[in-house]
Structures are given as structure tokens and as C-alpha cells.
Structure 1
Amino acid sequence: MSYPISFNLLGDGPYAGTLDGRILKYQKLTNSFMDFATATPTSVNKTPICGFPTGSSFDYTGRLFSCDITTGVTVVGPFGGLAKALLFPLKTECLSFSFLAWMLQENQNLYFADASGVFNFTTGAEAIRTGDSTGRLLEYNPKTKKVTTLLANLGGALGVATAAGASYVLVSEFIAKRIKRYWLKGEKAGTSEIIVVVLLDQIF
């Protein structure tokens, strides 16, 4: 199983995360994927041990920031290799079940979702069954290394996307069946609103 996650700023890719903790890069000339990065030193095909990158985004220097549902937020250089952990699950205020990162090029902050503050990857079905609403929309500033909670009490926050011009960020709620918009700029900055109610998984 793999997740399509990102293209770099040169248009190379896509890059995809796999259940054994690898990030793969698509090679157009050979029509195949090659290993680009790993979340842990070894890949043992056991997600709780080796990780599972579910969403990534490049910054302007070519670094790839990734959200991993078991190893947290990581970063790897333009040439790949072993990813460095920036935020660890269960050791900070966030990341019990992190999903889908999006680097906003205008301010170089990373926006990502934590699907649940109670359940993790192996108990995700319970989150759906109980109608869990402990998810969050988070902002990570690579310069200050600070994590800010923008929205809390989200029902299965899985998808994140940002608007051109850095005016707002969208987050999808799988359990609550809706998409919320959080304003980053303008008169509504710091506020949120529901913009659509729909059955969905992620937004990209």
C-alpha cells in the first residue's frame, strides 16, 4: 500500500510513502519507482516499527518534510536518505496519528493534521465507531521549531491543503464529513468556518 504525496518544485515525482516506512520517487525514464528516503534505519514491513509516511511537501531548498503516522514529522534533504525526526509521536503535544503535510511556500510553515488525540493507526476503526472528535490542525514553524494548534476538536482530520497567496488552509474531517477553512490572513485571520459537508477521505 502506498500514498501519493508530493512533487518537488522542479516537477519531479511523484513521491509516495509505503507501509514499510520508505518514500519512493517515480522515475519517468524507466517508468518505475526508486527508494528515495526511509523513516527508520530498517524496513521490516511493520508500520508501528518502521513507520508509514502519509503526506509530504517540499520547501524551496528541496528538503522534503513528511508526516508519518508512527514516527511523527520528519525531514530529509534533496538527495534523500534517512529522514530526521523533528516531532515525535506521544512525546509532544501532538502526533498520535498524524496525516498529510503541506508546506506553504509563502511563509515556509508546515501545516498538517493529527487525526486523533486518543486513537492511533492500529485503532483507527475505533475512532470512527465512537465518533472521535479529538483531531487537530497544526502549524509547524521550521525556523522557531514551534508547533501551534490552529483548530482542535476535529472529527478525523485527514487532509490539508493551502490556498494560493497563503490566505487560508483547508482541513477535511472524515468522521465529521465536512471541510473547514481556517483563515491565515485578512479580517477573518484566526477564525474558521465550515465550507462544505460531504463524505470524503482526504483533500490534496
Structure 2
Amino acid sequence: MAIIRNSKTIAVLPVFILYISFSSTLVSAVSFKKLPLPAPGPESYAFDSACHGPYTGIADGRIVKYRGPKTGFVDYGFTAPNRSKQFCDGTNNTDLAPICGRPLGLGFYLPKKELYIADASYGLMVIGPNGGAATQLATGAEGVPFRLPDGLEVDQLTGFVYFTDASAVYNLSQVNQLVSNHDATGRLLRYDPKTKQVTVLLEGLSGPSGVAASKDSSYLIVVESVSSRIQKYWLKGPKANTAEVLLNLTGSPDKIKRTARGDFWVAVTVQTPTHALKGVRINEAGTILETLTFSPKYDTSLIVEVNEYKGALYLGSLYPNFVGVYRP
């Protein structure tokens, strides 16, 4: 999800860079390339157990997989059960999400090669190891239907799927109203594949757009886009089942992704006379370790994810018809 303010869409992005110090670093320090997509809007990224990818959901409802520079992206799956390729392929119209689907958050459960999806219209879904049509797992929790499923994380230790519903009131085409009304009906949720039950962990959140689990499964980090803050939710220990504000940010944060080191990248769009598109790397205490600025070289008006994978940062946004990749 991206927060839209002043007719501009705001988001966050994923970033990886060799760091010499913890000071702010400009994107000019790394190389940049574009991986062309068949439709705009790479919101989030995932990589499979064979290190293939990235996989990403795009605006026309497809999940696509990168097969290398010669082949590019190929179709992997889709979320809308009656999706028409002729009608949907290539669209960037959010009003068509109920017809075509709109995958937002993605995450593999690597042991079973299952790709879980938070789809803005169809809820929590999963695609099996061979791709194809997604299976719908949940459309609501505790009697409240999902309106805008957004961020998603699969805990590789437990198999639990953590995801956010950005609002209990507004859907994808109503994000402007969500922001202007300071909606605080969002929820943090957990899906247990064994029991097939969804549990509400936190409610009353302001546009929760991203979630990440710690390496030891002891806590979650949750991003609230509307209130521009990050919360820490404890899963284990004396603080289990409680939350605390970890960090307040300038700008509009979106997705959050854990690195192999165990720290986290948050994508942040900061309104200036134009837009400053940033990746902010934080640790478990909420300390900012590094800040990267990707604009103006990353030529879009928002950023929604910064995903660090094997020496590269994969940048997500709702508008470009390419995946932005930065390398040291």
C-alpha cells in the first residue's frame, strides 16, 4: 500500500549497500538498473528456496517471476479466481482490483515452497510450489472482513504467517480517505497453517502497511504509514502479547523487510518540494543505522519496499513498470 497525500502517492523501499559507516549515504554510491515488467506496480518481493527471483505482484493482478536477463519476467500465478488475461493484463487501474486481483505483500514459506500473498481484494492467499491459481485462506478475522490486506511476513521457524489489514473501513481505491480521516482501524494478524485460524494480535493501528519478524521469532516490527511510526510487538518473554512504539519517522513509511544480518530496511517517502525516496535501516532497538536516498535517480514519486537480497537492494513502488535494483 502507498499513502496518498496532496495527490501524490507515498511509499517505502528496500535497499542493500556495503556500508563503511552508519552515516547517511547517497544512492550515487551504488549502481542502478531496471528489470522491465509486463505491467506497473511492483509492490513487494520474494525469493524462493532455490534463490530464484525476484517474484513480485503487479497492478494487473499477476505474480511474476524473474528468469534472468534473457527471459525477463514470466507469469507465475494470480489471485482472482476468474481473472481474464485479455481484460486485465497490463492494467494499472486500482478500481479493477476486485476483478483482476491486486497482490501486495508476498512471502515464501521456504520448506514447503509455498508463496503466501496478501491481496487487497481477495485476502490472505497461497500459491503452491508449481505456481498457478492462488487458494484463498481467509477473508476476515473475528467477524470483521478484511478491507485492505497489505504487509506480509512468513516466519521460517514457526510457519506462522503474519500480515496486516490496513483498514477495516477503506479499500484500495479509497486510500486517500483512509489518510485524510486518519483511520485507525487497521490490524496485525497471524495465520496458523496447522489450525487454519486467523488471530488478531493488535488492532487500532493507523494504516499498518508492513510487518517483519525477528530472526529468533521473539518479536514483530510493524509499520504504521498514517501515523509515521514503527511499533514492536513481543511474541515471547515477559512482554509477550504487548506492543511499544519503537520509532517515529519523518515522512510516510511503508513496507519493512529483515536482512540476513537481522536488522531491518524500511521504505520511506518524504515530501519535499518534490519527493525524497529513502531506505532507512534500523536495529531491534529502533536505532537508525543507515539512511539511503534513492531519488532522483530512482525516477518515481514514491517507494514502498526496500528488500536486501544477496548484495542487492530491490526497490518497490506502485507506478514504475520496472524493478529497480541497486548494487554496490
TM-score range, shorter chain: over 0.9
Give the equivalent residue in structure 2 for 1:114: 165
For the aligned residue pairs, the C-alpha RMSD in angstroms reads: 1.6
The answer on 1:42 being equivalent to 2:83 is yes
**CA distances 1:45-93 after superposition (whole Å, capped 9, x unpaired):** 4222111101111111101111000111111111100111111269953
Residue 94 of structure 1: how far off its partner (Å): 4.0
Structure number, greater radius of gyration: 2
Distance (Å, rounded) in 2 between the aligned partners of 1:86 and 1:122: 23
Amino acid corresponding to residue 108 of structure 2 in structure 1: F
The residue number in structure 2 matching 1:18 is 58
- Relative to 1, partners in 2 of residues 1:91 and 1:48: Cα closer, same or farther, differing over 3 Å? farther
The two structures have a TM-score, normalised by structure 1, of 0.95
Instruction: Name the CA distance, whole Å, in 1 between partners of 2:247 and 2:208.
Output: 14
CA contact (8 A) 1:4 1:14 kept: no
Count of paired positions? 204
Q: 1:148 aligns with which of 199, 215, 234?
A: 199
Shift in alpha-carbon separation, 1:23–1:9, aligned structure 2, 3 A: same
Alpha-carbon separation, structure 2, partners of 1:105 and 1:148:
18
Tell me which of the two structures has the higher relative contact order, counting C-alpha pairs closer than 8 angstroms and 6 or more residues apart: 2
Is 1:69 matched up with 2:133? Answer: no
Aligned-residue offset at 1:100? 1.9
- SS state at 1:49 partner: helix
The CA distance in 2 between the partners of 1:94 and 1:196, in whole Å, is: 29
- Runs of 4 or more, structure 1, over 4 Å off, are 89-92
Q: What letter corresponds to residue 83 of structure 2 in structure 1?
A: T
2:255 maps to a residue whose letter is Q
Q: Aligned partners of 1:69, 1:171: CA distance in 2, in Å?
A: 18
5+ residue gaps, structure 2? 1-40, 258-328
Alpha-carbon distance in 1 for matches of 2:215, 2:159: 13
Of 255, 258, 263, the residue aligned with 1:202 is: 255
Which of residues 71, 96, 102 in structure 2 aligns to 1:52? 102
Look up the equivalent residue of 1:5 and give its one-letter code. Answer: Y
